[in-house]
A = this chain, B = another copy of it.
Amino acid sequence: MKANSELETLIELMAKLPGLGPRSARRAVLHLVRRRAQQMAPLASAMARVAETTRECLNCGNIATSERCAICMSEKRANGELCVVEDVADLWAMERAGVFKGRYHVLGGTLSALDAVGPEELRIPALAERVAEEQIREVILALNATVEGQTTAHYVADQLEGRVTVTSLAQGVPIGGELDYLDDGTIGAALRSRKSL
């Protein structure tokens, strides 16, 4: 297939996507080539449109089509609650759950001494500004329950201390979870946070 360099280029670009390697990229491209009109052309134009129109919301870091994302522009979501997440994927996960009605603040990662990621590299200074400007009553830290996520959560909580109520997602047994398959840390956290019935 050396002769068809456009196809080779496409396969190389596809292979860079997370979850795809050279072999699965070839398979995906072949799948698309067989469905040129129905699938490949629409995908190409959808991708071009998104590449052209999307940008980062200047306020919260979410993906937006204008200076501010739909959530930041909606007055309904200005309920005084601000949910802090690591990245846009976490924001999407919260939105899918459909239980949070306030606004978000996307940090863009976690603090990491090893990778030289300090508060200035994340959207932490902007967070303090938003708390004052948007009359936030409660900041909910929805950071991953990893060491990096929890370190970042503690730092953010320290920064906001005395200025606003800071809470974080509860840790415990996931819905549908079986104790037998849970790790010790989760069982310990669930026991410490036990509730009276």
Binding site for B on A (CB under 8 A): 1-4, 6-7, 9-10, 13-14, 16-20, 24, 26-33, 36-37, 39-54, 63-65, 69-71, 87-89, 92, 95
Q: Which residues of B contact A6 (CB under 8 A)?
A: 46, 49-50, 53-54, 65
| Main secondary structure on A side of the interface with B | helix
Identical chains in the assembly: 2
- Give the most central of A36, A46, A71, A92: most B CB within 10 Å: A46
Nearest to A45 among chain B residues (CB) is B48
Contact, CB under 8 Å: B70 / A4: yes
Q: Contacts A27-B89, A44-B51, A47-B47 given: A95-B39 contact, CB under 8 Å?
A: no
B41 near A48 (CB under 8 angstroms)?
yes
With A18-B24, A71-B3 as given contacts, are A51 and B36 in contact (CB-CB < 8 Å)?
A: yes
- Give 26 A-B contacts (CB < 8 Å), ordered by A residue: A1-B92, A1-B95, A2-B95, A3-B69, A3-B71, A4-B54, A6-B46, A13-B39, A13-B42, A13-B43, A17-B28, A18-B31, A19-B19, A19-B24, A20-B20, A20-B28, A26-B92, A27-B89, A30-B87, A32-B47, A32-B50, A33-B88, A36-B51, A41-B52, A43-B47, A44-B44
Closest B residue to A95 by CB, please name it: B1
Residues of B contacting A89 in the complex (Cβ-Cβ under 8 angstroms): 26-27, 30
B63 & A10 in contact (Cβ 8 Å cutoff) = no
Residues of chain B within 8 A (CB-CB) of A16 are 39
